């Protein structure tokens, strides 16, 4: 019980719900419609749409919903987190994708899961976000809140980039690499894992640095505490890029800086399992990866 208390927040019964579908996934819209009908029978107001629909986004931003149900895969959950995190709206994921590292409920279990949520039988798991700032000289070119990671990388050229990396103003190293990943614990099971980084439990608030294909430079992941600030200065005579949570990258120039620190917001995921779910799901998904690979 002590572990649950440390990880969980109070579980209010939702009264206003947004149901978000992803139209490229077969059956997503029909499932969203079925959920809306179930919510209506329970006397709960629901707005339906996609994550780019102005009406749905406005309902979240204006505090008109207290729960968002996301139908899709991990990409949908990331986009839902970007929208809901800054406004304190919890997200319940229904898996219509593949791995679903971030998602709580499989497609065939949605009705039972919804009943539990409407009864208040769930807990909220907080996931830290990162604040990423892109600087050219003293001018801020962009700022983002990310849930998985930001990646400073080479562009279309196969040539390495040099990435001068500082931690809290102290020089760490200059990576000569394909890329440098700065990730949250949530992102430790994404690109950072594929690059050989460690897996961090989701309740931690550490920042993870993982180089990709480093050449004659530090080749180990570094785990930092929540209060750290990472500054990456690009040294290159060709293209470099910055990408957040797999979104379309922006082009960087020689001398540009990327500053990363813990964000001000937390994404709240609805959980129905006990807090030990993470390791059970991790084992199951890793076994599925091995099976898929063997079958291929």
Q: What is the pLDDT along the chain (296 residues), one digit of tens a residue?
A: 333 433 445 588 999 999 999 878 888 899 999 999 999 999 998 999 999 999 999 999 999 999 999 999 999 999 999 999 999 999 999 999 776 789 989 999 999 999 999 999 999 999 999 999 999 999 999 999 999 999 999 988 788 999 999 999 999 999 999 999 999 999 999 999 999 999 999 999 999 999 999 998 888 999 999 899 999 999 998 889 999 999 999 999 999 999 999 999 999 999 999 888 888 888 877 765 444 443 33
Question: Which of 95, 262, 292 minimizes the C-alpha distance to 186?
Answer: 262
**pLDDT value of residue 143:** 97
Question: Which of 151, 107, 98, 101 minimizes the C-alpha distance to 125?
Answer: 101
Integer-rounded Cα radius of gyration of the chain: 20
**pLDDT value of residue 6:** 38
Neighbours of 167 (CB within 10 A): 16
User: For this structure, is 256 an active site residue?
Assistant: no
Question: Which of 76, 79, 77, 49 minimizes the C-alpha distance to 65?
Answer: 49
DSSP alpha helices (H): ranges in 46-189? 54-61, 74-84, 110-118
Which residues are bridge partners to 163 per DSSP? Answer: 175, 234
Question: How many helices (H) and strands (E) in the chain?
Answer: 7, 17
CA angle 160, 166, 169 (to 5 degrees): 155
**pLDDT value of residue 283:** 81
Neighbours of 174 (CB within 10 A): 14
**pLDDT value of residue 291:** 44
Which domains occur in the chain, in start order?
13-122+272-295 (3.40.50.10330), 129-264 (2.60.200.30)
**pLDDT value of residue 41:** 94
**Phi, psi dihedrals of residue 163, rounded to the nearest 5°:** -125, 100
Burial (CB count <10 Å: 0-12, 13-18, 19+), residue 63: exposed
Catalytic residue among 53, 66, 74, 254: 74
**pLDDT value of residue 31:** 94
8 A C-beta contact, residue 18 and residue 46: yes
């Amino acid at each position: 019980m002590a572990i649950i208390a440390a990880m969980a927040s109070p579980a209010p019964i939702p009264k206003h719900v947004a149901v978000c579908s992803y139209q490229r996934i077969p059956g997503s819209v029909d499932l969203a419609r079925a959920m809306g009908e179930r919510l209506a029978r329970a006397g709960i107001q629901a707005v339906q749409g996609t994550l780019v629909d102005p009406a749905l986004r406005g309902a979240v931003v204006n505090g008109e919903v207290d729960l968002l149900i996301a139908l899709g895969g991990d990409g949908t959950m990331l986009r839902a987190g970007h929208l809901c995190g800054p406004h304190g709206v919890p997200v319940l994921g229904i898996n219509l994708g593949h791995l679903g590292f971030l998602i709580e409920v499989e497609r065939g279990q949605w009705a039972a899961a919804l009943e539990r949520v409407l009864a208040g039988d769930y807990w909220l798991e907080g996931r830290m976000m990162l604040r990423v700032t892109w600087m050219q000289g003293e001018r801020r070119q962009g700022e983002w809140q990310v849930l998985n990671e930001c990646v400073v990388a080479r562009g279309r050229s196969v040539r390495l980039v040099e990435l001068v990396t500082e931690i809290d103003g102290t020089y760490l190293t200059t990576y000569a690499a394909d890329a440098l990943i700065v990730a949250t614990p949530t992102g430790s099971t994404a690109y950072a894992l594929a690059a050989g980084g460690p897996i961090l439990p989701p309740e931690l608030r550490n920042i993870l640095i993982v180089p990709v294909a480093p050449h004659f430079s530090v080749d180990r992941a570094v785990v930092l505490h929540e209060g750290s600030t990472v500054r990456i200065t690009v040294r290159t005579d060709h293209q470099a890029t910055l990408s957040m949570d797999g979104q379309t990258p922006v082009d960087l120039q020689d001398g540009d800086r990327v500053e990363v620190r813990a964000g001000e917001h937390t994404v709240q995921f609805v959980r129905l399992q006990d807090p030990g779910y993470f390791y059970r799901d991790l084992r199951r998904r890793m076994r599925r990866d091995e099976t898929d690979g063997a079958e291929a």
